[in-house]
Every structure is written in C-alpha cells, then in structure tokens.
Amino acid sequence: MSALHWFTQVLEVLAALLAAPLFMGWINQCRAWLQNKSAPSLLQPYRGIRKLFHKDAVLASNASSLFRMAPYVVFGTMVCAAAIIPSLGTRLPISNAADAIALVGLFATARVFMSLAAMDVGTAFGTLGARREMLVGFLAEPALLMVIFLASLISASTALPAISEDIATRTLALYPSLAFTAVAFLLVLLAENARIPVDNPATHLELTMIHEAMLLEYSARHLALMEWSAALKLLNYACIGFALFLPWGVATGESPTPGSLLTSIPILALKLTAAGFLLALIETVSAKLRIFRAPEFLATAFLFAVLGLLVHLLLGA
C-alpha cells in the first residue's frame, strides 16, 4: 500500500467524523423546510455536541462499568465502520481486514452494547427501548445481509471496496436486481437509524420512542458520543448505499491519482446532499407506524431483497 492509500484511509475517517453532524443538520433543515417550519441552523448538531462535552456527567448510583463503557464502544465501532466503507476511494488498507459481512457485525456489536447499557440501570423506558431496538435489528439484519449477498454474487467478492469498484467499472445499464435491493436497503436504512416510519428521532413520547428511550440516562460526554455515533451510523449507511448502488465518482484502481481523490470529495458531498433531501422527503410524507407494524415493514424489505436475488439468479439481470 502506498502513502496515497493511507492518506485516503485517514481522509475518509476524518471526513466521516466531521461530516456526520453536518449531514444530520442538513436532514433537519430539509425536513423543516418541507413542513413549512423555521429551519434550525445547519451547525446545530455541532453546537449540541460541543455543549454536551463541556458539561459534567451525571450517572445513576447503580450504573455499572458497562454503562460507562458503552458510549466509547459504540463510537469506536462506528469509526471502524467508516474506515471500511469506500466513500472516497476503493483502495483502503484497513478494509482488507474486514468484509461487508463483518461490517454488519460491527453494527450488531454497537446495537448489543447500547441495549445492554440501556437495561443496566434498570429503568422501564431503557428496557422498553432496548427490547424494541433488538426486535428491529433482528428483523433488519437478514434483509441487509441479503442485499450484501446479492452484491457479492454480482462482483464475486464480499469486500465492500471490491464490490464498489466492480460495479463502478461496469458498463452503465439498468440492473433490475440492484433496483429491487436498493429499495430493500432504503427500508433497512430507515429502520436501523430510527427514522420515520419506524421511529421518530424528534420525539420523546414514551409509548413510541425506540432509540431515544435508550439514551435517557446518559448525559454530558456520554450523551455527546451517543449522539455523534447516531449521526455516524446514518452517514455510514448512506455511504454503504452509495458504494453498492451509486459507486461512480470514487477513486478506483491500483494507483489512484491525487486529482481523482480530490474530485471524489465534492461528488460525495453532492450525493449526501441529495440523500439528505430524499430522507427528509420520505419522513415528511410518511406517518409513524405502530411498533407492531415494524415486522411487516422489515418483512417487505426482506421480500424486495429476495426478489432482487431471484431476478439475478433466474434472469442474470
């Protein structure tokens, strides 16, 4: 691996860390505009994280070391995931140590630690949110794995950079199998990131919240890391979608040039801008589902992924 490859790796991680709160702020702005409300500042997530880091942490008297450790583990897993996903270039040194299936395992690790920490203090809301989070994850992971399985069949590799580079270098054409799996991936993205219609990130209603219920006992730097991790997770999922379905614009090849790497940065910014507006539009036109309808929502995602797989196996398209 050349020095440029390592520079690409470091640049991707730094870009993810810095762009994640901005991406969240852009979605909040677009949603406010679409709902004809006064939009918050684009930098509001940065201000919230900065304010939390300057506060003193308050912990429950019966909180164990797991409760204190969970925010750092969750944040670390999201950073590791950002290092594996090819958002700017496909030749990433760290990505050789883990493939797309291991990436799903990283997300599962973060979910398990969040759920255990939410149940650690013993509050009713934390346990309620943890149980719902595990239910959503249990139903979303098979659909996500099916999407990755189809992409690996097309590119003959489970490594996400190799999948992205193979699709990016193919002749531009309409692949029905990828279209079906793109719909499935979008449904999984909404569910895994606690977005409408599965969850509402802007509410604290006890009977409906999932992700927010697990964070009620956190404060100060612990809450800041959890909020930053949530923004990173959303950005990571968006970049996974780009790598699988819109890989054009990333620096590819054994020896990428500095020019191609610099060009990939504004292209990624344009993709994130469009993706943020799309997510805000979906949340605006959708209604919050009852929690008991979430299995039907994720079963639909799994069905679309299976349809994509069948189209590829039977028709080769």
Q: What is the mean pLDDT of residues 273-290?
A: 90
pLDDT at 173: 66
pLDDT interval class at 40 (50, 70, 90): confident
Distance CA 78, CA 71 (A): 11
Closest CA to 145 of 180, 176, 103: 103
Three-state SS string across 116-157, please? HHHHHCCCHHHHHHHHHHHHHHHHHHHHHHHHHHHHHHHHCC
Q: What mean pLDDT is reported for the chain?
A: 87
211-222 per-position pLDDT tens digit? 788 888 888 999
pLDDT at 198: 86
Q: What is the mean pLDDT of residues 17-34?
A: 93
Per the model's pLDDT, the better-predicted residue between 278 and 173 turns out to be: 278
> Per mean pLDDT, which range of 192-196, 212-216, 251-255 is the poorest?
251-255
Check whether 317 has a pLDDT greater than 70.
Answer: no
Distance of CA 288 to the CA centre of its chain: 20
Check whether 238 has a pLDDT greater than 80.
Answer: yes
pLDDT interval class at 112 (50, 70, 90): very high
The proportion of the chain whose per-residue pLDDT surpasses 90, expressed as a percent, equals 41
Check whether 261 has a pLDDT greater than 90.
Answer: no
Distance CA 79, CA 16 (A): 8
pLDDT at 288: 84
294-305 per-position pLDDT tens digit? 889 999 999 999
pLDDT at 255: 65
67-111 per-position pLDDT tens digit? 999 999 999 999 999 999 988 888 788 777 778 888 899 999 999
Q: What is the mean pLDDT of residues 114-124?
A: 87
Check whether 240 has a pLDDT greater than 90.
Answer: yes
pLDDT at 299: 93
Q: Each residue of 93-115: b (16+ CB within 10 Å) or e?
A: ebbeebbbebbbebbebbbbbbb
133-181 per-position pLDDT tens digit? 888 888 999 999 999 999 888 888 888 888 888 888 777 667 788 889 9
pLDDT interval class at 1 (50, 70, 90): low
pLDDT at 286: 85
Show Cβ contacts of residue 230 under 8 Å, excluding neighbours closer than 6 positions.
Answer: 24, 193, 194, 201, 211
8, 92 Cβ separation under 8 angstroms: yes
Reading the block at residue 86, the tokens are 């090819």
pLDDT at 211: 79
